[in-house]
Each structure stands twice: as structure tokens, then as C-alpha cells.
């Protein structure tokens, strides 16, 4: 058998695939070009911005380097904040005075650049993160400039700059332990609040996932409400101190409510529940009036309501009042607190349709269990100040009040 001849490719042109050969990165040359623009325009940011806009520099490749030049006057060594070889200019953020007036023009200049090249926002984020997580490499004066710059970038609402990624590096343990973060964030707060409200600041911190516990900015040895209040009061941020005190109070109140809710749901012995309230009252320093409001909430939250059956709902509510009357009686220790309890009952009956008609029965039950005194009920009836449903409730309670007054006359 003859062997088959192999086919040949004579005269056929073979197409070869071209490979994309990437040009080597040359951030040094890019940095030198940007520095030269600064030098040619003597640091006039209006002229610098015009020159930047008309240049053919490759910002998409060297965006990080561009912001390094803005911040430090030249390129930094890779992975550090140390100056690299090459020309530098003296019109950078780090070289200016640590004041709002000196730094704001640089922020507005960046804002103008970002309008033309919005993709650079990611590079700005990268460089700011790198600097903030390297605070220990800057001098105290330089850290203040970074704090002012950071506050102004958020105050000017640079499009797309995410606080959750820019600010998170501040919570590095080593930076917090050295006190660098506390100093930085104090300058940041002071500057940001010049143009913005406290609500704006809290909203920013929420987006940055940092508002839950502002004590995290303090070294662990100084992490207490007293130190927080003292520090920020001295810094002139009294409204921030008040906000934190309110927030901590709400947290303690929520924790106490959760603990009591569990105990009442599990029908824990009432003496044990009373001990829990006393301990929480001592530890959290809760006002007596808040304790009374809280107790009524957790007692009524535990009621098993039965839909639309009004009589069953009435029986369940009154049974709950009778069961936990001793708990209420322990902490309603004066007429003011008893009156507050009546207001609490009034509001709940007004806001909850299924309880609307139960107001006089609940008040009568609280009286029978010695939680509410006669004088308190009469004071509410004659001079109560809360107007929610008051007209209807006064009318509904009138027969019971008449009975109280007649009994008093007979005595």
C-alpha cells in the first residue's frame, strides 16, 4: 500500500496574532510632568487646572501618582509616604499652612479636576486611605493638615468619595493606641462642623460605619464616657458630647428593656425581676421616670393579645397588671412617678385601638393593686396636661372618679 502524501502549505500566507504589548509603567516621568506644571504656573491652582485639562498626560494609568503630587509635592516611594527621587514643588497640601483658608483652594482644585475626570475619584480614595493608615509617618502639624483636608473633602461633597472606605483605616489598633486617631478625628470634627450640622456629621459617621461607639477613637486605657465628655468639651464640641450621652443612655435603656422582656416572658419570679431592675438602675444610672415608662412597656409587650376579641384583650391586660403590680409598686414611689405612669397608660390606650376602651379598667386595676393613689388619679382627672385622647378618657373615667369622691366624703 502506497503511503499518503502529506499536504503542504506552499504559497499560503499564515496570519499571526498580534500581542498587546503593555508599555512599562513610568510614574516618575508622569510625576515630574505634573510637578513641572505646578512650577511653570508658580502654584496658581487656576492656571495649574487649565494646564492639567489641556495636557495629554495619562491620568487613567497614573491617578494615584497625580494625587501624591497634590498632597506631598511629588511622587512617593511605592508603598510608603516617603519622597521618591525627582522634582518636587512647594505648593502641596503638606507644605501649606494648617488652616482652612490655605487648604480649601486645593480641595476646590481637586473638585474641578474630578468634574472633568470623574474616574479619578477612586485614585483619590486610594491615596487618602494610604495616608490615613500611615498617620504615624507624618509630623503632628502634617496630620492636622490631613485632618482639615479630609473634613473639607466631605464638606464639599466630592462626588462619590465613600466615607466607609476612607475613614475605616483610622480604627487600626496601633494608631488608636498612640492617640493619633483621637487627635486627627478631633481636628476633623472641628473643621467639618464649621459648615455642617451635627446631624450631617452623624450621618457621615453612619455611612462610615463609625457612629455606634465613638469611644473607639480613644486608646483603650482612656475609653470611658467621662474621658470622652472631658476631651470633646475642651475641644468646644459640647453638642457632640450631648449626642454621645443621649446615645449611650438609649443603649443602656435598650439593654435593660431586653433583659426585662426576657424575664417577664419567662415568668421569672417577681423578686428576681425587681433585683434586676435595681441593679440596672444603679449600673446605668437611669432616671426613675424612665424606669417607670420602661416597666409599663415591657409588661404590656408581654400580653398575648387575641385579635379582635375585646373582652379577651381586656382580661389579658388586666391579668398582666395584677400579676406585675408589685413590680410597678416598687418603683412608683411618689406622686410624680404615679402620674407619669398614668400618662403612659393614657398614651398607649390612645395609640392602640384594641386598648382604647380599657383605660378606665386599667386605672381601676392599678388603684386596686395600690400602684396608683387616689390623689394621683384625681390630679390627672382635674389637671392632666397630656391631651392625647384626654377628652374621651376623662369622660370614661368619670364614674370611677365620682365613686372616689363619694367614698372620700363618707370617710
DSSP output for 91-127: -STTTS-SSHHHHHHHHHHHHHHHHH-GGGHHHHHHH
Q: How far apart are CA 329 and CA 190, in angstroms?
A: 48
Q: How far apart are CA 99 and CA 147, in angstroms?
A: 10
Q: Is the pLDDT of residue 23 over 70?
A: no
Q: Is the dihedral of CA 306, 308, 314, 315 positive or negative?
A: negative
Please give the C-alpha separations between residue 202 and each of 205, 207, 217, 231, in angstroms, as whole numbers: 5, 9, 15, 18
Which of the pair, 161 or 110, is modelled with greater confidence?
Answer: 110
Q: Per-residue b/e over 6-33, b at no fewer than 16 CB within 10 Å?
A: eeeeeeeeeeeeeeeeeeeeebbebbbb
Percent of the chain past pLDDT 70, that is, above it, reads 91
For residue 374, what is the enclosing H or E element?
helix 374-383
Q: How far apart are CA 164 and CA 23, in angstroms?
A: 34
Q: Is the pLDDT of residue 382 over 80?
A: yes
In contact, 133 and 172? CB cutoff 8 Å: yes
pLDDT class of 13 with cuts at 50, 70, 90: low
Three cell numbers written together for 384: 392632666
The tens digit of pLDDT for each residue in 141-166 reads 999 999 999 999 999 987 678 898 88
Helix, strand, coil in percent for the chain, rounding step 5: 70, 0, 30
Q: What pLDDT, on the 0 to 100 scale, is given for residue 16?
A: 44
Region 251-278: mean pLDDT is: 91
The tens digit of pLDDT for each residue in 204-226 reads 999 988 888 899 999 999 999 99
Q: How far apart are CA 164 and CA 63, in angstroms?
A: 21
Mean pLDDT over the full length of the chain: 89
- What single-letter DSSP state applies at residue 306? -
Q: What pLDDT, on the 0 to 100 scale, is given for residue 19?
A: 44
The tens digit of pLDDT for each residue in 72-107 reads 999 888 767 677 778 899 999 999 999 999 999 999
Say what the pTM is. Answer: 0.76
Which of the pair, 15 or 287, is modelled with greater confidence?
Answer: 287
The tens digit of pLDDT for each residue in 285-326 reads 888 999 999 999 999 998 887 766 788 888 888 999 999 999
Q: What pLDDT, on the 0 to 100 scale, is given for residue 353?
A: 83
In contact, 79 and 140? CB cutoff 8 Å: no
Amino acid at each position: 500500500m502506497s503511503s499518503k502524501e502529506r499536504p503542504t502549505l506552499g504559497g499560503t500566507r499564515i496570519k499571526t496574532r498580534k500581542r498587546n504589548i503593555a508599555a512599562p509603567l513610568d510614574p516618575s516621568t508622569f510625576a515630574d510632568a505634573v510637578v513641572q506644571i505646578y512650577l511653570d504656573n508658580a502654584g496658581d491652582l487656576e492656571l495649574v487646572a487649565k494646564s492639567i485639562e489641556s495636557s495629554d498626560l495619562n491620568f487613567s494609568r497614573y491617578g494615584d501618582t497625580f494625587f501624591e503630587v497634590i498632597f506631598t509635592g511629588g511622587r512617593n516611594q511605592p508603598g510608603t509616604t516617603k519622597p521618591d527621587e525627582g522634582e518636587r514643588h512647594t505648593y502641596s497640601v503638606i507644605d501649606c499652612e494648617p488652616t482652612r483658608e490655605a487648604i480649601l483652594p486645593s480641595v476646590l482644585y481637586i473638585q474641578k479636576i474630578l468634574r472633568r475626570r470623574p474616574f479619578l475619584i477612586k485614585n483619590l480614595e486610594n491615596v487618602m486611605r494610604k495616608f490615613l493608615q500611615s498617620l504615624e509617618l507624618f509630623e503632628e502639624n502634617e496630620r492636622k493638615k490631613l485632618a482639615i483636608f479630609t473634613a473639607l473633602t466631605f464638606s464639599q461633597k466630592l462626588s462619590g468619595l465613600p466615607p466607609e472606605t476612607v475613614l475605616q483605616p483610622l480604627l487600626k489598633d496601633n494608631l488608636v493606641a498612640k492617640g493619633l486617631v483621637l487627635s486627627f478625628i478631633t481636628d476633623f470634627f472641628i473643621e467639618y462642623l464649621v459648615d455642617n450640622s451635627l446631624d450631617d456629621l452623624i450621618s457621615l459617621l453612619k455611612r462610615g460605619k463609625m457612629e455606634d461607639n465613638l469611644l473607639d477613637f480613644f486608646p483603650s486605657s482612656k475609653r470611658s464616657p467621662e474621658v470622652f465628655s472631658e476631651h470633646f468639651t475642651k475641644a468646644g464640641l459640647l453638642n457632640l458630647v450631648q449626642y454621645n450621652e443621649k446615645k449611650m443612655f438609649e443603649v443602656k435603656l435598650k439593654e435593660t428593656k431586653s433583659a426585662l422582656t426576657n424575664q417577664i416572658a419567662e415568668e421569672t419570679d417577681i423578686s428576681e425581676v425587681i433585683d434586676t431592675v435595681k441593679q440596672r438602675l444603679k449600673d446605668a444610672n437611669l432616671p426613675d421616670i424612665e424606669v417607670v415608662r420602661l416597666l409599663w412597656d415591657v409588661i404590656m409587650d408581654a400580653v398575648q393579645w387575641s385579635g379582635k376579641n375585646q373582652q379577651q384583650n381586656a382580661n389579658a391586660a388586666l391579668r398582666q397588671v395584677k400579676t406585675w403590680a408589685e413590680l410597678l409598686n416598687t418603683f412608683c414611689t411618689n406622686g410624680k412617678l404615679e402620674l407619669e405612669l398614668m400618662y403612659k397608660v393614657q398614651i398607649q390606650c390612645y395609640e392602640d385601638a384594641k386598648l382604647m376602651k380599657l383605660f378606665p379598667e386599667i386605672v381601676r386595676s392599678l388603684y386596686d393593686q395600690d400602684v396608683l393613689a387616689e390623689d394621683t388619679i384625681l390630679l390627672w382627672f382635674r389637671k392632666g396636661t397630656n391631651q392625647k385622647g384626654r377628652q374621651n378618657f376623662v369622660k370614661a373615667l368619670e364614674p370611677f372618679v365620682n365613686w372616689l369622691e363619694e367614698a372620700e366624703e363618707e370617710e
